[in-house]
Amino acid sequence: MVSINQIISLCKRRGFIFPSSEIYGGFGSGYDFGPLGVEMKNNIKRAWCDEMTKKQNLPVGEIVGLDAGILMSPKIWQASGHLTAGFADELVECKKCHKRFKMDELDSSPTAQNDNGLKCPDCDGELTKPKKFNLMMKTFVGPVEDESSTTYLRPETCQGIYVNFLNVMETMRLKIPFGIAQIGKAFRNEITPKDFIFRTREFEQMEMQWFCEPSKANEWFEYWKEQRLNWYADLGLKKENIRTIEVPKQDRAHYAQRQIDIEYKFPFGWKEIEGIHNRGDYDLSNHSKHSGKELNYLDEQSGKKYIPHIIETSVGVERILFAFLCDAYTEIKGARTKTTQAVKETEMVLKLDKQLAPIKAAVLPLVKNKPELVKKAKQIYQLLKPRLACQYDETGSIGRRYRRQDEIGTITAITIDFDTLKDNTVTTRDRDTMKQKRVKINDLREVIGV
C-alpha cells in the first residue's frame, strides 16, 4: 500500500499540492493547490456537479445549483446550533509537553491510561480536563471590531442553502422532492489538523440537500446512499477500499436523525470521506423559528402544508482528491518503458479515471534538435490545447518523458516523429496498457476519448 509520504512527495514534486506559506515556514497546516492540483480539483467538482444537476435520472425531482456567501448573518449560526449546542470538540492539553489533542482521537484503552486517567500519547504526561472548543472561525464585518460586527466564516456550506430554500423553490417553480447543490469553501478551527490534506482548517465542500416529504425521507436516504456509492465506483475507486458505517446516536452530528459515513481506506486507516445525513426538519424549523419566516411547502394536490425533511450528502473536495490519489498510485516492478536506465527500476503510474486525470494528453517531439519536428509538435499542441488539458514536453529521452507523464496520470502520450512530417500521423501511447498506435492527427481527440 502507498504511504502518506509517497503521496506528499508526489504532490510536491509534480505540482499538485504545496505547503501553505512555505517560504515563511508554513502556516497552520494549510496547503495550496498547484497547477495539477487545480486541474484535478476542478475535474472532481465538475464530475460531482454534472452527476447532481445533469446525470441524475430521477423519476421525480430536479437538482439545481446555488453559490451562497461564505460570510452570512451570525443569526444563521445561532439558529443552526453551531454557536450553541453541537459544533464543538473536546480539547485536552498535556500538562508536561503542552501538546493539544482532540478528546475523541485519544486511545481510551486501559494501557493508554495512568493514575490520572488518559495520558499524553506523546510523552505519557498528565492531561488537563476536557474543555469544549468551538470550531467556528470568528471575524468582523465593517470597520468596528466589536460584538455587533462579529460574524463567522461558514463551517459548512449547507446553511446557505436552507436560508435560500424559499428563494430557490419559488424562482425555479420547484415541486417537492427537489435538491439544491452547492460547492464552496468551509472553515473550521480544527484542534489537530493532520494527515496531509485530510483535515485542514480551510477546505471545500460539495453538498446536496434533498427536500422531501417527511414520510419519504427514509426511502430517499437509501436512494442517495446508493447513488453516492455508485459515483465513487464509476470514478474507479476500488471496491475493497470503500465502505459505509452506520453512525450510532451518540456519535452523530447534532442535527442528524440518521447518519451514514462513507469511509475510504487511507494509508493511516479507514476514515470518513462523505457523510449522508437525514437532517429531518431540524434546519428549516429552526430557521423558521429564529427568522419568523414560514419555511413551508404547500402540496397543491393534497392541500397539505408541511416543513420538508432534508437528506444531505456532504463531501470534502480535498479529502476525496486525496483518496483518488491514494487509490490510483500504482507501483510497477521492472521497466515499463524501454530505456536502459529504467530496467529493474520500480516505475510509478497514477491510474486516475479519465475524467479526473489533470492532464489528458502530452505532446512529445521525438527529439528536440530537429526544428521541423519541434514545429510540427507545437502545432499539434496548439491544436489540442483549447480543447483538452495537455502538456508539451521536449526535454530528456522519450522514455523518461513517458515516465514523467505516467507519474501524473496523463492518459495519452503523443509522439511526433519523422513519419509525422510525411503522412500527418503520430504515435499514441496509452498510460495503462502502454499500447502504441499510429493515428491520424485529425483523429486524435477521438482516440484520447475525452
Q: Return residues touching ligand ATP (CB under 6 A).
A: 156, 188, 190, 199-200, 203, 205, 253, 272-275, 314-316, 318-319
Q: How far is the CB of 343 from ligand ATP (least distance, A)?
A: 41
Comparison of 324 and 402: residue with beta carbon closer to ligand ATP:
324
Least distance (Å) between residue 322 CB and ligand ATP:
9
> From the CB of 42, what's the least distance to ligand ATP, in Å?
18
- CB of 213 or CB of 272, closer to ligand ATP: 272
Closest distance to ligand ATP from the beta carbon of 178 (Å)? 21
Rounded to whole angstroms, the Cα distance separating 21 from 302 reads 58
Question: What phi and psi values does residue 439 have, to the nearest 5 degrees?
Answer: -135, 145
Output 4 or 166, the one with its CB closest to ligand ATP: 4
Grid cell for residue 303: 392541500
> Which cell is 405 given?
507523464
The nearest distance, CB 86 to ligand ATP, in angstroms, is 10
Distance in Å, CB of 440 to ligand ATP, minimum: 44
Question: Nearer Cβ to ligand ATP, position 74 or 316?
Answer: 316
Would you say 4 or 388 has its CB closer to ligand ATP? 4
Do residues 276 and 221 lie in contact, with contact meaning Cβ atoms separated by under 8 Å?
yes
Nearest to 425 by CA among 438, 434, 437: 438
State which residue, 253 or 383, has the beta carbon closest to ligand ATP: 253
Report the nearest approach of ligand ATP to the CB of residue 355 (Å). 19
Cross-strand partners of 415: 364, 427
CA dist 83 and 71 (Å) reads 15
Q: State the cell numbers at 137.
A: 472561525
- Closer of 119 and 279 to ligand ATP (Cβ): 279
How far apart are CB 84 and ligand ATP at their closest, in Å? 17
Distance between CA atoms of residues 431 and 2, nearest Å: 19
CA angle 354, 358, 364 (to 5 degrees): 95
Nearer to ligand ATP, 203 or 266 (CB): 203
Q: Whole-number minimum distance, CB 30 to ligand ATP, in Å?
A: 10
Cβ proximity to ligand ATP, 130 vs 396, nearer residue: 130
At 420, list the grid cell.
509525422
- Closer of 309 and 319 to ligand ATP (Cβ): 319
- Contact predicate 324/241, CB 8 Å: no
Closest approach, Cβ 251 to ligand ATP, in A, equals 9
The β-bridge relationship of strands 361-365 and 309-316 is: unpaired
Q: Which residue is nearest to ligand ATP (CB)?
A: 316
| Residue 311 beta carbon to ligand ATP: minimum distance, rounded to whole angstroms | 13
In angstroms, give the least distance from the CB of 108 to ligand ATP.
Answer: 17
- Judged by beta carbon, residue 260 or residue 411, the one nearer ligand ATP is 260
- Comparing CB distances to ligand ATP, the nearer of 199 and 309 is 199
